Structure 1
Amino acid sequence: MDLVTAFHRSLDGFTTRVAQVEESQWGAPTPCEEWDVRTLVNHVVSETLWVSPLLSGATIAEVGDRFDGDQLGDDPAASARSAASAASSAADEAGVLDRTTHLSFGDTPSEEYLNQITADLAIHSWDLAVATGEDPVLDPEVVDKVGDWFQEREQLYRDSGAIGPRAPVPSDAGRQDRLLGAFGRNPDWSPDV
């Protein structure tokens, strides 16, 4: 599977799960200990809003604080769909993977940036699903794509504090559970544990 397709599928998986959140679930806990469901969704929507300007060559300074604060408003599902639509269009532009993205830690190939966002969308889709009782099974091809990409980056992510310690998973665990463990997620997490 090519990267842009994986990105689109990750976006779709996340926005589908946002649309399924019930009104009573916005304050529910998530595997991200400091975040409830609304905070998690706001984080991902905000991150998704950054995709279009960054892939178009904008710098962090040029974007400024435009995507700080609440990005969900009164209709989180519509906000998620709108952000996803803009990000999808940006990812579909010709030559997008050959560009340079100006991130807070330095200039980065756009291909690497899109891999990072694809991974974040996939992992947070799982976070949202288990927090709200939705289907936690991720697209297996996206899991493979993200898992292959993340293998050589896991320690760098951990050393930078972007992820927590590796969660133990059985040696015979499936690819999704191994990926979740690599990102510091307990595949058996539930709001009741």
Structure 2
Amino acid sequence: MNEMLSRAADRTVDVVRGIREDQYDLPTPCSEYDVRTLLGHLSWVALLFEALARKEPMPPEDNEPDALETRVRGMVEGWSHQEAFEGESPMMQLPMTVVFQMGLGDLVFHGWDLARATGQDYEVDPDTAEAMRIYVEQMAPMARQNGVFGDEVAVPEDAPAFDRALGLTGRDPAWKP
């Protein structure tokens, strides 16, 4: 599973490196975030999921976009140890395997969001796409109830796995700025 996280981290960091300062105010598929705000959010999310993997206390919210790449690498390192997947998160009362999927999902979906917003490609390998589809199918009702996912966007049943996962999170796979 950590290979999936590493690949997602590499893809997302590549997208982040390709974002120009003049693109910071562009809208993203996450309507509550522009590019700058989403970069900051994703930076803090990476810091949070690293702390969760290491079974450390929740860090204070720190939406520092310049720290994003370092934090994503820290997140990958945190999840590279088998003990990260053991037990339940006291912070979220969920199995650590589910917490991992949540972190992977944040990295993948927000990486895609940033790529779409800035006109970049974001290819998801088949294994990650299928893992995200399964995860989102299982979590969508609870995530929608908690305001994490938007209303489902209809996507054909024969669409690629990642497009179906996007639709379940409330994202339109055909979204353009």
TM-score (norm. length: structure 2) = 0.92
Please give the secondary structure, in 1, of the residue aligned with 2:166: helix
- How far residue 30 of structure 1 moved from its aligned partner, in angstroms, is 0.5
User: Counterpart of 2:138 in 1: which secondary structure?
Assistant: coil
Matching residue of 2:166? 180
Partners of 1:57 and 1:100 within 8 A in 2: no
Matched, 1:89 2:77: yes
Relative to structure 2, which stretch is displaced further, 16-25 or 167-176?
Answer: 167-176
Query: Is 1:101 the counterpart of 2:99 in the alignment?
Result: no
Equivalent pair of 1:6/1:145 in contact (CA under 8 Å): no
Where does structure 1 lack aligned partners over 5 or more consecutive residues?
Answer: none
AA aligned to 1:86 is G
Deviations 1:82-131 (A, max 9, x none): 1012111111124221143232xx43222111110101111111111110
- Equivalent residues in 2 for 1:98-137, closer than 5 Å: 98-103=86-91, 106-137=92-123
User: What is the percentage of aligned positions where both structures have the same residue?
Assistant: 28
| Aligned counterparts of 1:169 and 1:91: Cα–Cα separation in 2 | 32
State the one-letter code of the partner of 1:123.
F
Q: Which residue of structure 1 lines up, in the alignment, with residue 31 of structure 2?
A: 33
Larger Rg: 1
Give distance in 2, aligned partners of 1:128 and 1:179.
Answer: 17
Question: Which of 21, 24, 34 lines up with 2:22 in the alignment?
Answer: 24
Give distance in 2, aligned partners of 1:182 and 1:119: 12
User: TM-score with structure 1 length normalisation?
Assistant: 0.84
| CA-atom RMSD in angstroms | 1.6
Q: Which has the higher contact order (CA 8 A, sep 6+)?
A: 1
